Amino acid sequence: MKEKSALKQNKEVLELAFSVLYDPDEALNFVAPSKYEYCIWTDGLSALLGKELGSDLTRSDLDTLMSMEMKLRLLDLENITIPEAPPPVPKEPSTYNFTYNYG
């Protein structure tokens, strides 16, 4: 893709491109349809290779999880007990007719 950038390729397309090298002289070239897909594909390949996941999507997800963990730990400090098991599932309703008829 870098070689073709001289042909004034779209910058966004270059940011979504990656290659998988499967032989010293052979590669498969890909262009993801979106930044989200690019992150999913490259993080998935990195995970399979045992490498660090470094996409913006992964960093955002990790920040969310760390924030949730911190909030749960703070709840414990305020003597709010977190149950070990989930609450029981309620019984099914006798009817699923929950809507109001307008006519």
* pLDDT tens digits, 2-23: 555 544 457 777 888 888 888 8
How far is 57 from 63, CA to CA, in rounded Å?
Answer: 10
Task: Give the chain's domain count.
Answer: 1
Whether the Cβ atoms of residue 29 and residue 13 lie closer than 8 Å to each other: no
Q: Is residue 90 part of a domain?
A: no
More confident residue, 35 or 98: 35
- Please tell me the pTM assigned to this model: 0.52
Flag whether 94 is in a domain.
no
Beta strand pairing status for 26-31 and 17-23? antiparallel
Interval 33-45: pLDDT, tens: 888 898 888 888 8
Identify whether 67 is part of a domain: yes
Q: Is residue 102 part of a domain?
A: no
Query: Which of the residue ranges 13-17, 38-42, 57-61, 79-83 would you say has the lowest mean pLDDT?
Result: 79-83
From residue 50, alpha-carbon distances to 11, 47, 79 in Å are 29, 5, 40
Distances (CA, A) of 21 to 18, 27, 96, 99: 10, 4, 55, 57
SS3 content of the chain, % helix, strand, coil (to 5): 45, 15, 45
What CA–CA distance (Å, rounded) separates 97 from 93? 10
Once rounded to an integer, what is the mean pLDDT over residues 49-71?
A: 86
Residue 93 lies in a domain: no
- Please report whether residue 86 resides in a domain: no
Domain that holds residue 2: 1-77
98 in any annotated domain:
no
Is 24 within a domain?
yes
